[in-house]
């Protein structure tokens, strides 16, 4: 298993491939220059089969590709990856496995025009979700939560530089480990899933933080990664809460400063912080 230090990976707002400077005017008609996030198409192949074209900032295409396949259950734990090839000039990434994957085999048995293929993927995702086990003994102290959120919010990021982007962080206690950003929150999640898959990082003692809403998709992917605690500065959807309760996932939202709501898995929270000023 890989050893992780605080902020092993962070966004690079100085990378010229990720941010462009564009001129325009402000509300008074004055000339301004603004930083804008760059997005590009990336087509993903699993062996010889085209899977999807994603719009992404394309900073970690290999992690994005593997994480997408893993989170969609197109790539299973027993599948051996023999290579991940990114071709920037043709905007493609190819994940190669030693044998035909389970997903490819299923696709051969389905009529694509019937919609059964995507139904099979969703069915597989829910089957893995239903069988997932999240450790009951995992804990997060409120002091750790407040420190973690502050570290994330003050770290250099594309969000602070240009906005129009979502961020996700893999953490342990109050220690942020992997920080990924992308134009779609699902891409940021998949990059972290890909890092975990490719580096042998497990989720049972980790916390997942996202800037995005706590939707059913976010809950399902967090559970699939084996992470017992999910935190967001944003709010919840009803199905996200329902699925979190079903999976016994600790779901913490609207986490800002020293305030939050927990709507599932509250038993993992240790209240050890002195809140002091209620306006903090």
Whether 193 and 221 have beta carbons less than 8 Å apart is answered as yes
Cβ pair 62, 84 in contact under 8 A: yes
Q: For residue 52, what pLDDT is reported?
A: 94
How far apart are alpha carbons 102 and 118 in whole angstroms? Answer: 14
**Interval 229-261: pLDDT, tens:** 999 999 999 999 999 999 999 999 999 999 999
Cβ 266 vs Cβ 245: under 8 Å: no
> What pLDDT was estimated at residue 278?
46
List, by residue range, all CATH 3.40.140.10 domains of the chain.
Answer: 140-270
Instruction: Considering the chain, tell me which residue range(s) the CATH 3.10.20.10 domain(s) occupy.
Output: 40-130
Domain spanning 140-270: CATH superfamily: Cytidine Deaminase, domain 2 (3.40.140.10)
In 87-234, which ranges are continuous DSSP H helix? 102-108, 116-130, 142-154, 158-161, 185-199, 216-224
> Which residue stretches of the chain have pLDDT < 70?
1-3, 102, 104-125, 276-280
- pLDDT confidence of residue 102: 66
Q: Are strands 40-46 and 92-97 parallel, antiparallel or unpaired?
A: parallel
Q: What is the pLDDT of residue 110?
A: 44
Give the separation between CA 72 and CA 266, rounded to whole angstroms. 28
Strands 229-232 and 207-210: parallel
- Kindly provide the residue ranges of all beta strands, DSSP E only, lying in the chain, ordered along the sequence: 19-25, 31-37, 40-46, 49-56, 81-87, 92-97, 140-141, 166-172, 175-182, 207-210, 229-232, 250-256, 259-264, 269-270
* CATH match for 40-130 among 3.10.20.10, 3.40.50.800, 3.30.565.10, 3.40.50.920: 3.10.20.10
- Nearest one of 265, 215, 267 to 240, comparing CA atoms: 215
Please write the tens of the pLDDT for every residue from 74-124.
988 789 999 999 999 999 999 999 988 767 666 554 433 333 344 445 556
Neighbouring-strand partners of residue 264: 251
Tell me the whole-structure pTM to 2 decimals. 0.88
pLDDT of res. 275: 74
């Amino acid at each position: 298993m890989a050893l992780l230090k605080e902020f092993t990976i962070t966004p690079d707002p100085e990378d010229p491939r990720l941010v462009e400077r564009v001129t325009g005017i402000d509300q008074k008609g004055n000339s301004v220059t603004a930083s804008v996030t760059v997005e590009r198409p990336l087509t993903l192949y699993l062996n010889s089969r085209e899977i999807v074209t994603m719009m992404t900032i394309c900073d970690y295409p290999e992690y994005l590709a593997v994480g997408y396949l893993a989170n969609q259950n197109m790539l299973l734990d027993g599948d051996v990856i023999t290579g991940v090839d990114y071709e920037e000039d043709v905007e493609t990434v190819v994940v190669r496995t030693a044998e035909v994957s389970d997903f490819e085999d299923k696709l051969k048995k389905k009529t694509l025009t019937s919609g059964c293929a995507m139904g099979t993927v969703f069915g597989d995702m829910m089957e893995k979700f239903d069988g997932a086990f999240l450790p009951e003994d995992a804990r997060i102290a409120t002091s750790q939560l407040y420190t973690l959120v502050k570290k994330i919010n003050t770290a250099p990021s594309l969000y602070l530089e240009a906005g129009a982007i979502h961020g996700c962080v893999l953490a342990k206690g109050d220690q942020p480990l992997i920080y990924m950003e992308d134009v779609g929150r699902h891409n940021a999640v998949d990059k972290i899933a890909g890092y975990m898959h490719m580096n042998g990082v497990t989720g049972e003692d980790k916390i997942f933080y996202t800037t995005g809403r706590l939707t059913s998709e976010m809950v399902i992917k967090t559970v699939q990664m084996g992470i017992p605690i999910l935190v967001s500065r944003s709010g919840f959807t009803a199905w996200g809460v329902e699925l979190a309760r079903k999976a016994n996932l600790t779901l913490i939202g609207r986490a800002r400063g020293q305030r939050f709501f927990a709507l599932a898995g509250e038993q993992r929270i240790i209240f050890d912080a002195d809140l002091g000023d209620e306006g903090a």
